[in-house]
Amino acid sequence: MFGKMISDMMIKPGKSPVFETPDQYNLDYENVTFKTDDGISLSGWLVKGGTDKVIIQSHFGVQCSRSGFTVKGKGMMEKSLWNKDIPFLKQVKYLSQAGYSVLLYDMRNHGESEQCGWITWGKDERKDILAAINYVANHPDYKNADIGLLSICMGQAASTFAFGMEPEMKQFKNLKTMISVQPLTYDYFVANMGLPMFLVNSGSKYSKNRRNTDLTGDSFLPYVKDISVPTLVIQNTNDPMTDLNMVKQYYNDLTVEKKMLWLDLEKKRAAAYDWLGKNPEPIVEWFDTHMN
């Protein structure tokens, strides 16, 4: 019973509704769908700004969708992340005003995308980021556009796995840069939740044996060296769900042009996600510097 409960908390789909739409922000957009190379159908929005530069936003996992995080219907663990909604359309608004088009999509098992099993904290979701880049690169209006990645938590894990495990990533000549928001491996996240080890072990065993999902060894850290574009790393120094030495390792292992932005925010994991929608200057400046 405990094993299933912990496994559900960590990898079960269905906790991430799409709770806002771009028209509520007076944004010009279209609904889009596209498929991954393993046949999973993904849903998203293409918000229209300029045609020469496109940002692909990848959200964090389990409790989040393309529209962001909502506290409605969440249990105590999820509510501890933040006590109010975090609309990701806030940063889409300022990026659009700065001349960027933005593709937001729901990763598999999130939002309105296809449910196909269990959330893998980035390893399988790497195919989703690859599909999103392919969608933009082959779009008739954006085939010559520069592409930037705004990759948040599990979204950055998926991006990092993609750089390391998908050779096609090296073929995207227009992929110019990435912003990596709060890299987090599963083991540090669970360790800092304060759960007794017998619960952690029970959940990991249940996930592996009953759901064929191994969450004990699939860290993206070995693939950081394969990231091939300039990368800005953003991290709240007061984040209680991570290990800052792991974040420093992520940054140190980058072999590309890089910058570290440390934030001094509230002692909650999602404080940095909320910050993202309210502080356009460092985000737009980084993308402007590396795109077109």
Quick: pLDDT tens for 169-183.
999 999 999 999 999
Q: Which residue range is the domain that position 20 belongs to?
A: 2-290
Task: List the CATH number of the domain containing 127.
Answer: 3.40.50.1820
Average pLDDT of the chain, as a whole number = 88
Give Cα separations from 122 to 62, 135, 198 (angstroms).
11, 19, 25
Cβ count within 10 A of residue 121: 25
Q: For residues 37 and 130, what is the distance between their CA atoms, to the nearest angstrom?
A: 9
Number of domains in the chain: 1
Condensed to tens digits (0 to 9), the pLDDT of residues 254-276 reads 999 999 999 999 999 999 999 99
- By the 10 Å C-beta count (0-12 exposed, 13-18 middle, 19+ buried), 221 is classed as middle
* Least confident range of 16-25, 116-125, 186-195, 230-239: 186-195
pTM (global) more than 0.85: yes
